Amino acid sequence: DGGITQSPKYLFRKEGQNVTLSCEQNLNHDAMYWYRQDPGQGLRLIYYSQIVNDFQKGDIAEGYSVSREKKESFPLTVTSAQKNPTAFYLCASLPGQGKGANVLTFGAGSRLTVL
């Protein structure tokens, strides 16, 4: 079955370390997204990418970096510059056209805890 795989599901890191969260999709979707979820703040957009080798900053990109070298993959790196990285991170994708063109498909999320 097609879908989005995020790994790891849980991640613990020490303060000051960079961490990379994986997001892989086999839906052949064009666009991919990273959101951060904190209690009471909903989902906030970190980065998104509409095509390979191109991506745009969302509303809270500071302290994060991404790459889009392959259509299926959109990894997110949480750098040491991110002041409060402990959160639930959600990856999503969107087809470029067709019946489901406006509907995001989400992964199950990665919970990052910085100690």
Partner 1 sequence: AQSVTQLDSQVPVFEEAPVELRCNYSSSVSVYLFWYVQYPNQGLQLLLKYLSGSTLVKGINGFEAEFNKSQTSFHLRKPSVHISDTAEYFCAVRDYSSASKIIFGSGTRLSIRP
List contacts with partner 1 (CB under 8 A).
Answer: 4, 31, 33, 35, 40-45, 48, 50, 56, 58-59, 90, 92, 94, 102-104, 106-109
73 in helix, strand or coil?
strand
State both tokens at 26: 């086999």
* CB of 46 closer than 8 Å to CB of 26: no
| Positive/negative CA dihedral, 109, 4, 71, 12 | positive
Closest separation between CB of residue 84 and partner 1, Å? 17
Q: Which is nearer to partner 1, 2 or 81 (CB)?
A: 2
Q: Which is nearer to partner 1, 103 or 115 (CB)?
A: 103
Closest separation between CB of residue 17 and partner 1, Å? 24
